[in-house]
A and B are shown apart, each in its own frame.
Chain A
Amino acid sequence: MAKAKQKKGKLSVFTWILCGILIIYCIALLVPWAWGFMSSFKTKWDLRSNLFGLPKEWMFSNYSVVLSRFSVSVESSGPYPTRQVGILEMAYNSIVYSVGMSLSGTFVGAVMAYATSRYRYKFSGAIYALVLATMILPLIGSLPSQLQVARALNLHDSMVGIFIMKSYFGGMYYLVFYGTFSSVPQDYTDAAEIDGAGQLTVMLRIIFPFARSVFFSVFLLNFIGYWNDYQTPLLFVPNRPTLAYGLWSFANDNHNNDIKTVPTQLAGCFMMAIPILALYLIAQNKMMENVSMGGLKG
């Protein structure tokens, strides 16, 4: 007993090895960031001749160049075939896209999880099994069909269209909500019904508040995912570019060549990363402690 208590305070060799590996990993991950941040304040010639040193002249103008001149060319319905979309419009598109997609996806998932966990009909079991099946069924190559259906239903290149198309109730977060709602005792529902509460009141005012922090965490994780997503806007809303799509386009196409230097691209990267970094710093505990998923069995 005394030996076990003594062991508890001491860290094992295994732990020290892990600690060492993690320190090396963190340094390896953060060094490119530090280098990138420092280089975003250099001129392109300074970067070529001075790879590792501090900037000879601190070019804060790289950031203002990105703010004022960075744009993406998209198709236009006006008199000209194309128009330029600047950073403010891209930021607006990013907010609309991220908030809309997160709200619709999170809300639909929560509602379905509530329905299937609190109403124990056989059909609820079938929906649960359906969600599990769609999570592991490897359906590959449906993107062409999705685009075709989006165009046929006039949902292509529309924010509302993409919200409708992508607000599927299944996935990992459905299971998280399902677990949360299942754990709320039936007594709360029964007591509310005896007091005369209707089904909608029970859902919104009795049961949903139990999942408030989970809802917030899932919404936040979804928001960050959609803020960073550029491939879905590229395919489904190509004429409403988001910041992520704009940055990708800035780095990979042949427009904006006069301002497309390595330091300005790095400046664009940090301008995009900073809001999410700030959000992550503030809400990291909330995000990570409320999301827990067991395994799939059966």
Chain B
Amino acid sequence: MLKTGEKKFTINQRKRNKMIFYICLVTLPLIQFAIFYIYVNLNSIILAFQEYVIDKETNRGSYEWYGFENFERIFYKFRHEKVLPQALKNTLICFVVTIAAGFGGALMFSFYITKKMPFSKTFRFVLFLPSMISSVVLILIFRYFSENALLDLVNKMRSDKNQLSGLVYGTRDVAFWTVLAYTIFTGFGTMILMFSGAMSDVDDSLVEAADLDGATQLQEFFHVYLPLIYPTIVTFLVVNISGLFTNQMGLFSFFGGQADPGLYTIGYYMFKNVSGGEMSLPEYCELSAMGLTFTIITTPIVFGAKVLLEKYGPRTE
């Protein structure tokens, strides 16, 4: 039989061991986070106020304080040039069309798959296929199919005067909508994975109760499943809004760095200018300033959207 003092010592020792083990588990990941997330983002803010200068004697570059000049340059480009305003417009169009066309489709397809309707396994396999295969592979196949087979078919349906020169490499308008259609078409996979996972967690008794009350499948979809998976929908919408200005719309896969400026999105513009290796070093400061500007604009929108969606969404009661 242990004396009271000995038992207390053992419990404290166990608590201490737990604490030591916990510290060992979390230390390295937190150090990694501190360096590669916190420090990197702080450094990005500092870069936004710097300029890359090359010393003429040593031919070496360094970053020096530049104040708000980068921000002035960006606002000048938005006011007086065509590329960035068009990129912003394309980004917003892409977001709205993706949400309108892709989101609703993904929810309904997920419902179909969850309810194990006819051929649901086959549809699930095909719907998720674009998320499994490399975007480079998908885009190359789509690019050559569009520019060869599909273009031929489309031109056969148009009059001789109205022939298209290309679907991906044609006029800016045609190319933009072709690329956007491709983005929506191949973007269902991740959404369906999330939504069907959430729908499969819905309690069967609720679905059976709705069935017994005579609810149709359409009513089941709107009045049972949608309210119950609403938190997942909110998460997905919020994460999409958060990624608004990093969305490249697949342009870098389609065109490398050679896309028509009329097709740019903000995400593509920024990635293209950073991808030139050491040639891109002078661009870092202006890109960081642009990133900081869009972060400041997007943050209240993201949190506002989250609050509004949670406040005014359907109630499970």
User: Footprint of B on A, CB under 8 Å?
Assistant: 1, 3-4, 7-8, 11-12, 14-15, 18-19, 21-23, 25-26, 28-33, 35-36, 39, 47, 51-52, 108, 111-112, 114-116, 119, 121, 123, 127, 134-149, 164-170, 193, 198-200, 224, 227-228, 230-231, 234-235, 238, 244, 247-248, 251-253, 262, 265-266, 269-270, 272-273, 276-277, 280, 284, 288, 291-297
Q: Mark B124-150, 1 if CB is under 8 A from A, else 0.
A: 111111101111110011101100110
Q: Once the chains are docked, how many angstroms separate the CA of A57 from the CA of B131?
A: 33
Q: Is B9 an interface residue (CB 8 A)?
A: no
**In terms of DSSP, what is the predominant structure of the interface of chain B?**
helix
Residues of chain A with a CB closer than 8 A to B105's CB: 21
Pick out which of these stretches binds chain A: B19-27, B81-89, B92-100: B19-27
Q: Once the chains are docked, how many angstroms separate the CA of A148 from the CA of B41?
A: 11
Nearest B residue to A251 via CB reads: B140
Residues of chain B with a CB closer than 8 A to A272's CB: 134, 136-137
A231 to chain B, nearest CB (A): 7
Nearest A residue to B194 via CB reads: A293
B156 to chain A, nearest CB (A): 11
A228 to chain B, nearest CB (A): 4
Interface residues of B in 105-122 (CB under 8 A from A): 105, 108-109, 111-112, 115, 117-119, 122
Residues of chain B with a CB closer than 8 A to A15's CB: 112, 115, 117, 217
Q: Quick one: which of A116, A127, A139 has the most chain B CB within 10 A?
A: A139
Q: Once the chains are docked, how many angstroms separate the CA of A230 from the CA of B139?
A: 13
User: Footprint of A on B, CB under 8 Å?
Assistant: 14, 17-18, 21-22, 25-26, 29-30, 32-33, 35-37, 39-41, 43-44, 47, 105, 108-109, 111-112, 115, 117-119, 122-130, 132-137, 140-142, 144-145, 148-149, 152, 185-186, 193-194, 196-198, 200-201, 211-214, 216-218, 221, 229-235, 238-239, 241-246, 252-253, 255-256, 258, 270-271, 274-275, 277, 280, 283-285, 287-292, 294-295, 298-299, 302-303, 306, 310
Q: Which of B119, B124, B232, B290 lies in contact with A295, CB distance below 8 A?
A: B232
Q: Is B136 in contact with A29, judged by CB distance below 8 angstroms?
A: no
Q: Once the chains are docked, how many angstroms separate the CA of A284 from the CA of B120?
A: 14
Q: Which of A142, A193, A276, A293 lies in contact with B133, CB distance below 8 A?
A: A276
Q: Is A14 in contact with B217, judged by CB distance below 8 angstroms?
A: yes
A93 to chain B, nearest CB (A): 15
Q: Is A280 in contact with B136, judged by CB distance below 8 angstroms?
A: no
Q: Is B194 in contact with A127, judged by CB distance below 8 angstroms?
A: no
With A199-B21, A288-B124 given, name 18 new contacts (CB 8 A). Answer: A11-B118, A15-B115, A19-B112, A51-B152, A114-B25, A116-B26, A138-B302, A141-B288, A142-B40, A142-B291, A143-B270, A144-B285, A144-B287, A228-B137, A248-B136, A276-B132, A276-B134, A297-B310
**In terms of DSSP, what is the predominant structure of the interface of chain A?**
helix
B251 to chain A, nearest CB (A): 12
A149 in contact with B29 given A143-B271, A247-B140 (CB within 8 Å) = no
Residues of chain A with a CB closer than 8 A to B30's CB: 127
Q: Which of B18, B149, B193 lies in contact with A35, CB distance below 8 A?
A: B149
Q: Once the chains are docked, how many angstroms separate the CA of A135 from the CA of B234?
A: 13
Q: Once the chains are docked, how many angstroms separate the CA of A295 from the CA of B194?
A: 10
A145 to chain B, nearest CB (A): 4
Q: Once the chains are docked, how many angstroms separate the CA of A167 from the CA of B31?
A: 11
Nearest A residue to B266 via CB reads: A140
Nearest A residue to B122 via CB reads: A26
Residues of chain A with a CB closer than 8 A to B211's CB: 4, 7-8
